[in-house]
Amino acid sequence: MNIKITERNVKDEIIKGRHKLVVFEGPEGLLDKLKDLAGEIEKEKDVAVVVIGDPCRGSCDLKASHIPQADLVFHFGHVPTVSTHHKNLRFVDAWVEVKNPLKKMLTKENLEIIGSMGKIGLATTNTYEKICVTVKKFLEKEGFNVLGEIAEITGCNFDKAMEIEEKIDSFLFVGDGRFHPIGLSLVTEKPVYKLGLEEKNIKNLEETKEKIVRKRLAIIEKARESKKIGILIGLKTGQKNISSALKVRDLLSKKYETTLIAMDEITPAKTLNFKGIDSYVVTACPRVPLDDVENYVKPMLTLKEGIYLARGGRLQIL
């Protein structure tokens, strides 16, 4: 699998411009490619290009803000979010390229699954959008019932999928990884299937979703026994969710002692620094309590789970 970027535009802008210090940042899978691109540019022009070696999972995490001297910043592979402002910041698309993405996928079994999905709503992430368009064209050509729009989602924003939810019977998520398709399945009542390019199969995520919901409920019940709950605020550019942190603190403080703690990278080791805190609500990135759940000793809840713990009602995880 190959991740592509429009190197030419980036090179042109740096070489034609008068910039002295340029910063590149992007997701883990791109860092080595960015290092090579920086080297090529520095050979052609007297400019310093710094590649941020810490990978970022979204444009919520603009590490280039730690280098205010930079006069140009390129953020690769994520779509801009409202909370990401930076002087001279450019977002550069990155996309996964797979030759013949449907090869080995067109088995009788997979086609039967697609045929059973009713009206299909396609969902994907920014890097898989081109492949999703190929899949859409194929499904239309074969006469499957597919909605015209493709819903682009991020790990914590499913608005585009929610906009098409009423018009479809099932979602088909096109892409790899676990967090995005599982996240989609947690926010919608519609069945979600994943067309995984790496796994080369189509899988109904209903069973996985049920397992996760059961596990989340068990974690919430454990958190219910807490005396003191820590409310974690993210310090990353787009993760400083202070108003939500204060809201969940107000709700929880009717039943529990609470304490507000802010940190940049939330890690299992850091959460153990605070004695007497029995569980945490994470108001920063929801991937922390969901993706890394096995690594934490204390119950870690998402913001919505924290609200559910405080006032009951219908469980929402994301």
CB of 249 to ligand SF4, least distance (A): 20
The smaller minimum CB distance to ligand SF4, of residues 154 and 185, is found at: 154
Cα torsion 243, 245, 302, 195: sign: positive
The smaller minimum CB distance to ligand SF4, of residues 37 and 285, is found at: 285
CB of 155 to ligand SF4, least distance (A): 3
- The encoded tokens of residue 164 equal 């098409």
The smaller minimum CB distance to ligand SF4, of residues 157 and 258, is found at: 157
CB of 263 to ligand SF4, least distance (A): 14
Interatomic CA distance for residues 110 and 196, integer angstroms: 12
CB of 286 to ligand SF4, least distance (A): 6
CB of 131 to ligand SF4, least distance (A): 20
What would you report as the CA-atom Rg of the chain, rounded to the nearest whole angstrom? Answer: 22
Please list, in sequence order, all residues whose beta carbon lies within 8 angstroms of the beta carbon of residue 100, skipping any fewer than 6 positions away.
none
The smaller minimum CB distance to ligand SF4, of residues 47 and 152, is found at: 152
CB of 81 to ligand SF4, least distance (A): 7
Nearest to 126 by CA among 83, 93, 150, 162: 93
The smaller minimum CB distance to ligand SF4, of residues 59 and 279, is found at: 59
The smaller minimum CB distance to ligand SF4, of residues 17 and 55, is found at: 55
CB of 62 to ligand SF4, least distance (A): 10
Interatomic CA distance for residues 154 and 286, integer angstroms: 11
In sequence order, what E strands does the chain have? 2-5, 21-25, 48-51, 72-76, 89-92, 94-97, 120-124, 146-152, 170-174, 192-196, 201-204, 228-234, 257-263, 279-282, 300-302
The smaller minimum CB distance to ligand SF4, of residues 101 and 175, is found at: 175
Please list, in sequence order, all residues whose beta carbon lies within 8 angstroms of the beta carbon of residue 223, skipping any fewer than 6 positions away.
229, 278, 279, 299, 301, 305, 309
What is the phi-psi region of residue 93: left when phi exceeds 0, alpha when psi lies from -120 to 50, beta otherwise? beta
The smaller minimum CB distance to ligand SF4, of residues 49 and 233, is found at: 233
DSSP symbols for 281-316: EE-S-THHHHHTGGG-SS-EEEHHHHHHHHH-SS--
Residues forming contacts to ligand SF4 in the complex (CB under 6 A) are: 57-58, 60, 154-156, 239, 285-287
CB of 57 to ligand SF4, least distance (A): 4
